[in-house]
Amino acid sequence: VMLILVALFGILSTVVGQRMAARAMVPIKSSYLKQQQFVADASHELRTPLAVLKSSIDVLDLEEGDRLSDVSQLVLADMKDEVQSMSKLVADLLTLARSDSGGVDLYLQPFDLVSTAEQIVRLRQSLAQEKGIELALDAPSPLSLTGDQERIKQLLAILLDNALAYTPSGGRVRVAVTAEHTSNGMVRTAVVCVEDTGIGIPLEDQERIFERFYRVEAARTRAVGGTGIGLAIARWIVEAHKGMIEVQSDPGTGSTFTVRLPVRK
Ligand code: ADP
């Protein structure tokens, strides 16, 4: 996936570069907008061939799966994984490109943050078990929040998937949902912490991990397939909800990501 990505961005930047060179007099802002549009269009166009590829692989598996040799079955499984990662990446790129141009609408509605977190945690229990990680949710009482529930789910999933990915077997991951109150007892802020006992993040990288495509020390994280886009999307979702996200981490001890979201009533 990374090779395809690099090639894709090579082509994208060459094409964009040529376009920009050809119109050197175009104001910077306008070429930037065009570049955003280009990334949005390219990601959008890539979705259809990927969907076709995915269903072709599924058909092949269904019709011929039993008759394939062990090696071919492994190849098919790898292809499935790669197409899935690529589809996720393309969807993420599209989200970021659209968010740049303010083209993503949030569907705001009141929902319970605690049951949403419960669902996201429940869906990952078997993965955590497989990896030998203890996964727990700590959320004492329901907490109503006005926000885009699907985006908040995506945010929790990004943080939780990272915690599980960067924590070795035998570790712990804990999600905590709490509320902060004003002096008259009204809920003012919802606070979500995703805490792990994983490999941690060096201080000098802590600011940069929220940048697009930034990954800490390629060698160390290479074993974990990732693209460096997740936290950029997480930050966008939090900021679109007028919240804040921060990380505290000690290499070798673990990391805690804290999200604070205003509770709009
Ligand atoms: P990805 O995980 O796909 O590489 P992200 O944007 O989600 O991309 O994260 C960026 C980088 O931040 C990761 O590559 C990893 O180096 C680091 N990181 C994120 N979450 C954690 C975590 N819980 N523990 C350790 N490192 C992390």
Instruction: Please write down the HEC assignment for all residues of 100-157.
Output: HCCCCCCCCEEEEHHHHHHHHHHCCHHHHHHHCCEEEEECCCCCEEEECHHHHHHHHH
Q: Reduced to 3 states, what is the DSSP secondary structure of residue 258?
A: strand
Is residue 210 within 6 Å of ligand 1 at its C-beta? Answer: no
Which residues is 187 bridged to in the sheet?
181
Classify each residue of 190-214 as buried b or exposed e, where b means 16 or more C-beta atoms within 10 Å of its C-beta.
bbbbbbbbbbbbeeebbeebbeeee
Enclosing H/E stretch for 179: strand 172-181
Per-residue pLDDT tens digits for 140-152: 889 999 999 999 9
The amino acid at residue 13 is S
Please tell me the distance from the alpha carbon of residue 45 to that of residue 117, in angstroms, as a whole number: 33
Per-residue pLDDT tens digits for 159-189: 999 999 999 999 999 999 999 988 887 878 9
Determine the distance separating the centroid of ligand 1 and the alpha carbon of 157, expressed in angstroms: 13
Residue 104 confidence (pLDDT):
81
Enclosing H/E stretch for 246: strand 244-250
The amino acid at residue 119 is Q
Please tell me the distance from the alpha carbon of residue 64 to that of residue 44, in angstroms, as a whole number: 31
Q: Residue whose CA is closest, atom 11 of ligand 1?
A: 215
Is residue 229 within 6 Å of ligand 1 at its C-beta? Answer: yes
Residue 1 confidence (pLDDT):
61
Is residue 171 within 6 Å of ligand 1 at its C-beta? Answer: no
Q: What is the pTM of this model?
A: 0.81
| Closest C-alpha to 246, from 236, 256, 261, 232 | 256
ipTM over the 0.90 cut-off: yes
Looking from the CA of residue 221, the nearest atom of ligand 1 is 16
Which residues is 37 bridged to in the sheet?
none
Please tell me the distance from the alpha carbon of residue 240 to that of residue 148, in angstroms, as a whole number: 10
Is residue 221 within 6 Å of ligand 1 at its C-beta? Answer: yes
Residue 186 confidence (pLDDT):
81
Q: Both tokens of residue 216? A: 């800490």
Please tell me the distance from the alpha carbon of residue 109 to that of residue 147, in angstroms, as a whole number: 5
Looking from the CA of residue 196, the nearest atom of ligand 1 is 23
Probe target for ligand 1 pocket from 2, 209, 224, 255, with the most ligand atoms within 8 Å of CB = 209
Please tell me the distance from the alpha carbon of residue 134 to that of residue 197, in angstroms, as a whole number: 10
Low-confidence ranges of the chain (pLDDT < 50): none
Residue given tokens 């060096």 in the structure block: 202
Break the chain down into helix, strand, coil percent, rounded to 5: 55, 20, 25
Residue 154 confidence (pLDDT):
95
